[in-house]
Amino acid sequence: MEKVALVTGSSSGIGYETALALARDGYQTFASMRDTSKAKELTKAADNEKLPIRILALDVDKEESIVDAIKEIISDIGRIDVLVNNAGYGQFGCTEDVTVDEFRKQFETNFFSVVRIIQEVAPFMRKQGSGIIVNISSVAGRMGLPGSPAYISSKFALEGLGECLRYELGMFGIKTTLIEPGVIKTKFFESMKISDSKTDPKYKQLTDKMLAGFKMMVEMGSPSSQVADVVIKAIHDKEILPRYIVGTDAAMFMEAKNSKSDLEFEKYMSKELFPA
């Protein structure tokens, strides 16, 4: 029987590499993206390796687009074995500067879309009595930092959802996991949105400092293929773990977080972020 995978946000970065990795692993892979004119590079890579990849239009912000995409897969092949919720972007700016509308949009793409897609896909996985849902979270979903509260809160929400799904979908034989990358070299930095600074100039200084640090980290960031490799490892694990950390930076921060009290960790991160 043909194994089927669906990846959101496959036009670049982690989604692009994960779609290729799943196809190399034998999955008939639906590489979805909101703008299919961005599929040229992926199509070329798939053709070169003769990989079973199909490009599918899917804008995760649009309910109709989600419904249509899932319908297309089910009417063509009748099943979905692996779903990778990857599409996302980062909204930067301190809390007082980020409008509620910007917070909402961030949650729409990074969180509510995941809920909607799962609500469309899970009924088929329940019928199958199997399936794996991989949610691309972030190490930023485990620790608060200044300058990107909208992004970080959306990933915290995804982490909470991920833990709930393990129990709920687990009853039906559906496995779920969270992938928590550190800084990965992708178009994420170019695609991020920065809120207008309209309150205290100190907020702009702080956001700019965080962005400059992040930019430096991106240049030294891990490749997207490292995340894709972890996705493949996760779906093959005999017992899929609740979460997988990707990258030495993420591992280092999580180690500090797990070994310290909340207050100790806050002091440690302050020193890391703002050395005297």
Rounded Cα distance between 79 and 130, Å, is: 10
Distances (CA, A) of 164 to 10, 59, 87, 112: 26, 25, 21, 15
- When asked if residue 162 is in the footprint of ligand NAP (CB under 6 A), the reply is no
Q: Which of 151, 167, 203, 268 is catalytic?
A: 151
Smallest Cα–Cα separation from 207: which of 273, 118, 108, 121?
273
Rounded Cα distance between 27 and 14, Å, is: 17
Q: Figure out which of the listed residues 6, 9, 56, 120 binds ligand NAP, where binding follows CB under 6 A.
A: 9
177 to 206, contacts with ligand NAP by CB under 6 A?
181, 183-184, 186-188, 191
Measured from the CB of residue 171, what is the shortest distance to ligand NAP in angstroms? Answer: 27
Give the list of residues 6+ apart from residue 132 with CB closer than 8 angstroms, or none. Answer: 81, 82, 83, 174, 175, 176, 177, 234, 235, 240
Q: Which is nearer to ligand NAP, 35 or 239 (CB)?
A: 35
92 to 131, contacts with ligand NAP by CB under 6 A?
109
Active site residue 151: yes
Measured from the CB of residue 3, what is the shortest distance to ligand NAP in angstroms? Answer: 23
- When asked if residue 11 is in the footprint of ligand NAP (CB under 6 A), the reply is yes
Distances (CA, A) of 260 to 7, 152, 254: 36, 20, 10
Interacting residues toward ligand NAP by CB under 6 A = 8-9, 11-15, 33-35, 38, 59-61, 86-89, 109, 136, 138, 181, 183-184, 186-188, 191, 221, 224
